[in-house]
Structure 1
Amino acid sequence: MRIAFASSTGEKIDQHFGWSKTFHLYEVDKESATLLKVIESSDEPEEEVAKLNYKIGTIEEADILYCTQIGPKASKMVQAAGIHPVQVKEGEALQGAIDQIHEMLNTQPPLWLLRIFHKGAQRSA
């Protein structure tokens, strides 16, 4: 499955979805995580809905989005695009979030994560 992290450095999750200028896209399975690319999203339009559509378009490959904040309208739009938003405390270590995903996948994953994991596995097959 692919996970986009709203991060300015690639080390910590430190960005609000709508204000993030960079997303770090990882491929994550039960044992590993590989950085696929860093997505720049700074050429955004001014108008709110156009800006949100632009941001969602930049992370359209993602199955999950980790960010510090996301507004209700943006959250609904992200979910409608098939991406599951996850809010975390500002400054949470990106590697810590990946470790938590690995732990969940290898113990008792919640249904939402299982569904996303299987969707990602089908795409890779």
Structure 2
Amino acid sequence: MPVIERKLRLIEDGQQREHSFKVAFASESKLRVDQHFGSAHTFLVYGFGPEHIQLIEALQFELSPPGHDNKRLQQRIDALKGCAAVFSTACGQGAMRLLKQANIVGIMADTDEDLSLLLGELHLQFVHQPLPWMVKNSSDADAETRLNELLDEPW
């Protein structure tokens, strides 16, 4: 029985752009974040760079019954390796633990959050003040600088 039912990888203009980080979204509609991580049928993976957002691939899993299944969770996480974060409408503690072990940040989106708006917000955040999970191979000095900047902000 296959883990991934279908996988579509997109290449723009015959070449793949260099991405600073990748993010996956649990989205059946392809327009909104509208699925629970553990039972998600479809994930859209986008690559982000300083001047672009690009759909890289769409992963479609077999429909699965609700309920906890660690094997199913691990299969999804393995397929999302290389992503810095994954957005879904919900994610259980076990899945969050497995994501963390794979160095993927699990983020809950508002139910039916519009994907195009979320992509734009993430790109603005990355360009102007990237979150730690958006920055690859950040050194300890960079992390300390970002922490000090955060502490200097008004609370």
Same fold? TM cut 0.5: yes
The aligned counterpart of 2:52 is: 32
Q: Percent identity?
A: 23
The aligned counterpart of 1:123 is: none
Distance 2:110 2:101 in 1: 24
Pair 1:8 & 2:28 matched: yes
Distance 1:70 1:108 in 2: 26
Mean CA deviation greater in 23-32 or 67-76 = 23-32
The structure with the largest alpha-carbon Rg is 2
TM-score, L = length of structure 1: 0.83
Distance 2:97 2:26 in 1: 17
1:1-125 equivalent positions in 2, closer than 5 A = 1-42=21-62, 48-110=69-131, 112-113=132-133, 116-119=134-137
Q: Is the 8 A contact 2:22 2:47 kept in 1?
A: yes
The count of corresponding residues between Structure 1 and Structure 2 is 117
Q: Which deviations, in whole Å up to 9, do the C-alpha atoms of 1:16-70 show, x marking residues without a partner?
A: 0001011001111222111111101217698711111111112123111011100
TM-score, L = length of structure 2: 0.68
SS of the aligned residue for 2:54 comes to: strand
SS of the aligned residue for 1:99 comes to: helix
Distance 2:57 2:124 in 1: 24
Q: Which residue identity is paired with 1:118?
A: K
Q: 1:60 to 1:43 in 2, by over 3 A?
A: farther
Q: Which structure carries more relative contact order (alpha carbon 8 Å, separation 6+)?
A: 1
Q: Is the 8 A contact 2:36 2:90 kept in 1?
A: yes
Mean CA deviation greater in 55-64 or 79-88 = 55-64
Mean CA deviation greater in 47-56 or 75-84 = 47-56
Q: Which deviations, in whole Å up to 9, do the C-alpha atoms of 1:77-109 show, x marking residues without a partner?
A: 011011111111111111111111111122223
The structure in which a higher percent of residues are helix is 1
